[in-house]
Chain A
């Protein structure tokens, strides 16, 4: 290959390939533009032209065949489009990978199945939450699907046994309806009532389900002197999905409800995992007559594994460990990393494919 041919071949390659080629050959090659880079590469390849050419061929061969761009004189550096968020991946400093070997797909899939039926035994945190409710208010912050409903049901059962009224609120009407059906099955239809903007079923039942807005309105009307509901016998208020307190539009309703909730009633706040549940607990302690306990639990009852499905149908673990490596987002499975890089390469607008 003559120097001129080589130069032309280099000019046809994407700049990323040239940089890879320059790695170990040229110092500070990332500073150079394409034309300059080619110049430097040619100068440095003078000593070992054969090795240089074979490296180039390997790099070119790694990429699938592509149409040769019409203009042999490629434009200088093509700037990556700033709109492509995927590019962030490549520029992040990579933290060192763990040195254990990555797991295989079969061991990742291992353990899939249905557990043998066994009697329900409440988790320690569930028992804890129910016990703490005797002493004061409780904030529960646990991952999705850990069994918050069990705590709500047990707490409600105990309050009803003491002839106290229980109010259960959820953020959405649809959720209220689901819970109404669910609780009616557990406690019996005559024990459960529902209040929504336009529906009032069994309003005298000991367990009342409503949206948080309705409860807020009830508390306001009580504050205005028009007692609507038996607030004096109110024993327990359960606020489900209380992470809604951070909702930009509706969050204030949760705050109002908590501020105006009568002092003799206990509060049970059920929330998904949030970063600062202790703040909520502290806040409740500071404004309510009884101290508030925080029940927090971060491991999931059913363990979670993360996977990666390539568009060609190939399934791989996402991380190199079998579970989720908490705190180590970069412990990706090497094969997944390669597949995803390949995917990005082929779909990115800056790649050779348009």
Chain B
């Protein structure tokens, strides 16, 4: 059996059951394009009347947007009545497909799931072939809301009595996700309150610092945080009730009192045996006293030949070859220093614990060693912090041993202390929930003060005044670039190219035109700056190849859209979106005409060059 139904069979089945028009959601743009290719030699033609209807509608759209007149999909659309609609297409093509759908001319549209969220054109039937979508490189299961959004395209009000959502299996499908999505209740949505630099600047422009906290408290984010805090507060009330029977006894804070007393009691009993053990320095050092290690013993020096723990001797022992040739057994505690040198030494199982040759070798090396050797840095693990003697002394001062409620305290302590710990944990998280937004805001203020956009009293500096107008992603990078005069003398093409590489956030690979050397070095500077800002703002991808596409389009006014598309493997729709986003960034720079007339002028010239051909014809 094929892993999924062939597009031609799919259309035939739908036509047969009168389930057209349909939207077929496929996993990728490529799947959509391949589905369209499957119709290249197919003979399931539309009747001439309907072909004519499609031609009429297309003609009208082409009159408005001439760029799609030569679109390679048009013959298939006309013959079969199917079309593809995805982000790789120009908006004008998408408009044409939407228009055709609205007139009911098409039998099916192959689309990616991005369509579900974007423009709305309903159909009688929706075909679902996947249960997961690509979200920033990973495939994640569709949420219930998303399944319903997709299925919701089925059934046109006033044109259909019923809508159909049809699942057809493909290797990417998990039927459970879909059935749950159909029958379930959509998920709750959560606030995503990102505090950005322009937001901080704009808020501080309009409101003094002491009014900011109430404004943040009005956000949906805080509303939801408060909801969570309230849940915790209810839990806290419950805990308080549970704590009531453990209310004040002889001492008000009996839990702490008992805890200290108990700890001290335990510590005391532990202390005595701990003394018998070797000190931690010795234990730590002993690991390094391996055969060949150069050590200082007393005032002379030696090489460790073996180490052992003797039953007769309480302390760990080493056998060392001393300067002068003597072999001695000594406790590890007599080692005064452990150097970082290890000499080669061939072990032997009996005295002298290494081969006679290596004894001589070792002795020779030992004599040759310099007078001072660097010491091996050995970390000594801290023993359990012993309770200061002062407290131990006062163990007798505790009231507990003779207290009338001692038995009650002893009995209730484990439960009560657990409750109290929980109480304290809740209190801490409530505190965090109530203030987290404000802290995040303050962090941004600190950064802006460090960079000089805000005065220490959190007023806007002269730089802050214009920087607040840059309200796009990576605003800190852009404003820093402007302050560093990075665009001084840059021509419109270069400026737009840098902006587009900042704006572009897709890492789809492909073939692209070459970067000019001037742009390359400018991008190098931008990259350096972006890297230095990375603790405060995620650096953009800054792809040079993407920048080159924009540079060519703006730098060469005679370049046609087709010519641009031929220079790269990027899809038309992607190029369009790149340029549209660059336009957005440039128009933000254009708003700085008051403070940076030169830059604003370059930006507006870049905009003028950018808006031609396909970009001009579209709204």
Contact = CB atoms under 8 A, between A and B. Distances in A.
Interface residues of A, number: 88
Interface string B83-125: 0000000010010001000000000000000000011101010
B183 interface: yes
A308 interface: yes
A313 B13 contact: yes
Contact of B167 (A112, A282, A286, A308): A308
B145 interface: yes
Contact of B165 (A180, A304, A327): A304
Given A111-B161, A112-B18, A304-B154, A329 B191 contact: no
B408 interface: no
Residue of A251, A311, A324 contacting most chain B CB atoms (<10 Å): A311
Interface string B563-591: 00000000000000000100110010000
Contact of A329 (B127, B155, B160, B183): B183
B352 interface: no
Given A273-B145, A304-B162, A309-B166, A328 B183 contact: yes
A58 B182 CA distance: 37
Contact of A330 (B173, B179, B195, B584): B179
A306 B154 CA distance: 10
B145 A272 contact: yes
B160 A115 contact: yes
Nearest to A337: B175
A189 interface: no
B598 interface: no
Contact of B148 (A92, A144, A249, A310): A144
A144 B176 CA distance: 22
B154 A329 contact: no
Residue of B118, B186, B587 contacting most chain A CB atoms (<10 Å): B186
B224 A332 contact: no
Interface string A185-222: 00000000010011100000000000001000100100
Contact of B160 (A302, A311, A315, A327): A302
Interface stretch (B214-222, B414-422, B541-549): B214-222
B322 to A, nearest CB: 61
A146 B154 CA distance: 11
Contact of B188 (A147, A178, A199, A276): A276
B41 interface: no
B185 interface: yes
A346 B2 CA distance: 9
Given A114-B161, A143-B152, A305-B164, A252 B196 contact: yes
A190 B191 CA distance: 37
B5 A313 contact: yes
Contacts of B9: 313
Interface string B134-165: 00000000000100110111111111111111
A93 interface: no
Interface in A310-337: 310-313, 315, 318-319, 324-332
Contacts, number: 254
B4 interface: yes
Given A256-B199, A279-B224, A326-B183, A306 B165 contact: yes
Contact of B176 (A88, A111, A246): A88
Interface stretch (A47-55, A68-76, A169-177, A230-238): A169-177
Nearest to B219: A255
Interface in B180-230: 180, 182-196, 199, 202, 205-207, 215, 218-221, 223-224, 227
Nearest to B5: A311
A108 to B, nearest CB: 9
Contacts of B583: 197-198
A265 to B, nearest CB: 16
B96 to A, nearest CB: 13
Given A111-B162, A145-B120, A147-B157, A246 B192 contact: yes
Given A303-B155, A308-B168, A275 B160 contact: no
Contact of B193 (A88, A117, A255, A303): A255
Interface string B603-618: 0000100010000000
6 contacts: A112-B18, A145-B120, A223-B202, A287-B218, A309-B13, A315-B17
Given A274-B189, A279-B223, A305-B165, 15 more contacts: A112-B124, A143-B152, A144-B120, A177-B619, A180-B619, A220-B202, A220-B206, A246-B190, A252-B196, A255-B191, A258-B220, A283-B220, A309-B5, A311-B5, A319-B183
Instruction: Please provide the 7 A-B residue pairs with the shortest distance between their CB atoms, ordered closest to farther.
Output: A144-B152, A302-B155, A223-B206, A275-B188, A246-B189, A251-B192, A276-B188
Interface of A: 85-86, 88-89, 92, 109, 111-115, 117, 120, 143-147, 172-175, 177-178, 180, 194, 197-199, 213, 217, 220, 223-225, 243, 245-249, 251-252, 255-256, 258-259, 272-276, 279-280, 282-283, 286-287, 300-313, 315, 318-319, 324-332, 340, 343, 346-347
